[in-house]
Amino acid sequence: MPQTTTGAPVEIGDAEFPAFVTDNDLVIIDLWAPWCGPCKRIAPILEEIARENPKVVVGKINTDEHQDVARKYGVMSIPTMLFFKRGQLVDQVVGAVPKSEILRRIEPHA
């Protein structure tokens, strides 16, 4: 899977996940579901981050349809954001946190 250059979050599934996190340098994976209120609140923030930070690629995994990644990383609540640097998990945030908190988590890896 080539690195995305859209500046927008990319919907991926369990099958695309391994290549997505290894083919892109700095990745945020947003684990979400359509019925989740906090997930809806965090979505525009992640869209802004994807647009404003060309080095950060945002992938979204709908946990209702794709559960393998959530299971692999022990995700018990959504939204959960997993931060990957060159394919390695480097951080994790649970809940609808402010944009400043997400940016603070990205900073050491950018």
DSSP result, 4-42: P-SSS-EE--TTTHHHHHHHSSEEEEEEE-TT-HHHHHH
Q: Is 39 a catalytic residue?
A: yes
Catalytic residue among 12, 21, 39, 96: 39
Q: Is 110 a catalytic residue?
A: no
Amino acid in the structure at residue 15: A
Catalytic residue among 36, 45, 57, 106: 36
Judge contact between 60 and 10, C-beta under 8 A.
yes
> For 74-78, which contacts have Cβ atoms below 8 Å and span 24 or more sequence positions?
75/31, 78/31, 78/32, 78/33, 78/36, 78/38, 78/39
The residues annotated as belonging to the active site are 36, 39
